[in-house]
Amino acid sequence: MKKIILLLFIFSGLNMSFSQEPIIEGDIMLCPNSSGTASVINQSYDSYQWYFKYWFTSEEFEPIPGATDASFTYDWFTYDQALLKVVVTLGTETLESNAIQIDSYAWTPLIIIHEMNEFVRIDPVSHHLVLCEGESFNNTIGSPYNTNIQWYKDYAPIPGANDTSYSITEPGIYYVEAAPDFCPNVIDSSIGTPFVVEIDTNCALGITNPNSLHDAVQIYPNPVSHSLQLNIGADVAINKYSIMDITGKALITKKTNFTDTATIDVSSLSNGLYILVLESERGNSIHKFIKA
């Protein structure tokens, strides 16, 4: 009798040891247009049924039709922000797993930052970039794009132009393709918004010393919250100013007659880096400032 009881106890213990709750692991961070897989990792069971719900709702978990294997493959679009779990059976027992949350990478659109200098300007009519002959200006793509980079000129790849920055010296139509390193196969392109560079053989900035106006004007404070102050040198009259974002898009353009000192209201701008272009009979000057 004691042997029978002992055997029953042993078999009961074995049954308890094999009837563990399932443990699942899987791909929890997905790139756009990709899939992930979750699997039971601790042991085999008689049957499986996967369930999901979105974490931000109060709804109950719902069974996923056809998801009845030890692993489940899910797509980025449907299961982003979902909780996954599996319910299994082993003999007469029903057991439930832990839940995992599926998320996806998201990042800002691809933008090109034109590093404006005294030799390049934006044509107010065509919005093309006009560069003095023999000069150059740098262009940089914003974070997080740092992988699979290719710059293009006139819709053809530029040999060796595979860095986050590219210096332009020639006229043409330019755009870039790139991806973030955490999703290297998700390549974004600015082909839909290319920028045009023209060369001005007479250098329409119209100044013998390109730094002369720049040196004649001081701006402060920088960073600025509300009002940008200008100290303007003698014999200089600013007849127009423009404020552009880092992509070269004009946000504010005004005609004026600034002399000596002036104030420009920048309180309506969002925080970030901006470019102030001042125009006068002596030429143009370009100043970078930070709105904070």
Domain with residues 112-200, CATH architecture: Sandwich (2.60)
Residues 161, 152, 169, CA angle at the centre, nearest 5°? 70
Report the pLDDT averaged over residues 144-165. Answer: 97
Q: Is the pLDDT of residue 22 over 70?
A: yes
Q: Is the pLDDT of residue 133 over 50?
A: yes
Q: What is the pLDDT of residues 269-286, one digit of tens each?
A: 999 888 888 888 877 778
CA distance 253 to 270: 17
Residue 6 near residue 14 (C-beta atoms within 8 A): no
Task: Pick 49 or 271 by higher pLDDT.
Answer: 49
CATH topology of domain 212-291: Immunoglobulin-like (2.60.40)
Q: Is the pLDDT of residue 203 over 80?
A: no
Q: Which amino acid is at 286?
A: I
**Which band of pLDDT confidence, cut at 50, 70 and 90, is reported for residue 267?**
very high
* pLDDT recorded at residue 207: 41
Q: Is the pLDDT of residue 154 over 50?
A: yes
DSSP code of residue 60: P
Q: Which amino acid is at 142?
A: G
DSSP3 helix / strand / coil % (the chain, rounded to 5): 10, 50, 40
First-to-last CA distance in the chain?
Answer: 85
**Which band of pLDDT confidence, cut at 50, 70 and 90, is reported for residue 6?**
very low
Q: Which CATH class is domain 19-104?
A: mainly beta
In 3D space, the residue among 131, 114, 138 whose CA is nearest the CA of residue 199 turns out to be: 131
Residue 73 near residue 37 (C-beta atoms within 8 A): yes
Residue 161 near residue 195 (C-beta atoms within 8 A): no
CA distance 9 to 154: 80
In the chain, the largest separation of any two C-alpha atoms, in whole Å, equals 116
Q: Is the pLDDT of residue 210 over 80?
A: no
**Which band of pLDDT confidence, cut at 50, 70 and 90, is reported for residue 12?**
very low
Q: Percentage of the chain with pLDDT > 90?
A: 62
Report the pLDDT averaged over residues 32-41. Answer: 97
Q: What is the pLDDT of residues 50-82, one digit of tens each?
A: 999 999 999 999 999 999 999 999 999 999 999
CA distance 291 to 219: 13
Task: Pick 52 or 231 by higher pLDDT.
Answer: 52
Burial level of 158, CB count in 10 A (0-12/13-18/19+)? middle
Residue 176 near residue 152 (C-beta atoms within 8 A): yes
* pLDDT recorded at residue 283: 75
* pLDDT recorded at residue 214: 67
User: CATH 2.60.40.1930 residue ranges in the chain?
Assistant: 212-291
Q: Is the pLDDT of residue 11 over 70?
A: no
In 3D space, the residue among 256, 204, 269 whose CA is nearest the CA of residue 230 turns out to be: 256
Q: What is the pLDDT of residues 109-119, one digit of tens each?
A: 998 988 888 78
Radius of gyration, CA atoms only, the chain: 31
Task: Pick 163 or 113 by higher pLDDT.
Answer: 163
User: CATH 2.60.40.10 residue ranges in the chain?
Assistant: 19-104, 112-200
Q: Which amino acid is at 88?
A: V
* pLDDT recorded at residue 155: 96
Residue 212 near residue 169 (C-beta atoms within 8 A): no
Residue 114 near residue 127 (C-beta atoms within 8 A): no
* pLDDT recorded at residue 166: 98
What average pLDDT is seen over the chain?
88
pTM across the whole model: 0.66
Burial level of 176, CB count in 10 A (0-12/13-18/19+)? buried
Query: Three-state DSSP class for 2?
Result: helix
Residues 6 or more apart in contact with residue 4 via CB below 8 angstroms = none
Least confident of 61-65, 222-226, 287-291: 287-291
Least confident of 92-101, 157-166, 204-213, 247-256: 204-213
* pLDDT recorded at residue 272: 87
Helix residue ranges per DSSP H, the chain: 2-18, 76-79, 212-216
